[in-house]
Amino acid sequence: MSELPRGPRTQQRCCREWPLHLSDRSARGTHDSGGISPLSLCATESVQWEAGGREAEELGRGEETERRETADHREMSEPAANPAATSFPAPTLSLPLGLEVLRTYSGALVCLEILFGGLVWILVASSNVPVPLLQGWVMFVSVITFFLSSAYITLLITGLADRINTDWNFLDVVYHFIAVLFYFAAFVLEAATTAANGGAHIKPLPNSTETVMCITYPRGNIFTVLDGRQYSINVAATIFAFVVTLCYGCSMVMGFKRWRV
């Protein structure tokens, strides 16, 4: 028996041309006891070919589904990108965190700013602010910088500064530069308040039970009236304001060096 052609087109031609080589008995669909009808053989191979095509199609669909499931699983297993990490730069901080910051010059200067700055507004407040027009700015600057410096050193000691994505070196320079300007103005106003004291003192009148307040006019256009206690307190406040101004100036210089590096 000759080899049967493969493929759908050749199989159909086989089914049409096969009876030309058969005897009349085979053309009527009969066969010997040991033979197989060519029509049956052609139909069987056609069914097998169709079954094989369906199996290949199902296998291709199964592979495509498996690839999709693998891709979905890979996307789910990959961690999502953090928007904060991709949108903002990493924090820039040259100072150490924790208690180690207190061992640096910058950390020690910040502590001095808090200490002497607190003394400034405590002294001015204890003198009952005799000249509010001038000393109001002194109180504002000393209180604001006291709390800002305290918050800054707290962030460094607790390590929270490392969790805030910003350039801490640049903020350090800007903050201390503004603090130097504000505190220098506060020092000038406090010194002017103290220097313009008229030296008021109470003097009893002769041959009378009444008293009179004597004031020595100082040179200049500003004139304040402070008693002995207020004058002494404001002198101390002026000295501490000058010290705090120097501390902020040194911190600004050191912060500028860290920022440039």
User: Are 251 and 135 found together in one domain?
Assistant: yes
User: Are 47 and 105 found together in one domain?
Assistant: no
Q: Is residue 88 part of a domain?
A: no
Indicate the average pLDDT of the chain: 76
Query: What residue numbers bound the domain in which 30 lies?
Result: 8-77
Q: Is residue 195 part of a domain?
A: yes
This prediction's pTM: 0.60
Do the Cβ atoms of 145 and 179 come closer than 8 Å? yes
Reply yes or no on whether the pLDDT at 75 is more than 90: no
Reply yes or no on whether the pLDDT at 85 is more than 60: no
Mean pLDDT along residues 207-236? 76
**Measured between alpha carbons, how far is 10 from 70 in angstroms, rounded to an integer?**
40
Q: Which H or E run contains 202?
A: strand 201-204
User: Are 73 and 107 found together in one domain?
Assistant: no
Determine the pLDDT at residue 76. 55
Determine the pLDDT at residue 216. 66
Angle CA(233)–CA(236)–CA(237) in degrees, nearest 5?
A: 85
User: Are 236 and 132 found together in one domain?
Assistant: yes
* Segment 130-153, tens digit of pLDDT: 888 889 999 999 999 999 999 999
**Sign of the C-alpha dihedral computed for residues 178, 179, 184 and 186 taken in this order:** positive
User: Are 118 and 43 found together in one domain?
Assistant: no
* Segment 153-195, tens digit of pLDDT: 999 999 888 888 888 889 999 999 999 999 999 999 999 888 8
* Segment 104-140, tens digit of pLDDT: 999 999 999 999 999 999 999 998 888 888 899 999 9
User: Are 254 and 210 found together in one domain?
Assistant: yes
Question: 33: closest CA among 44, 25, 43?
Answer: 25
User: Structural domain tally of the chain?
Assistant: 2
Residues facing 211 on adjacent strands: 204
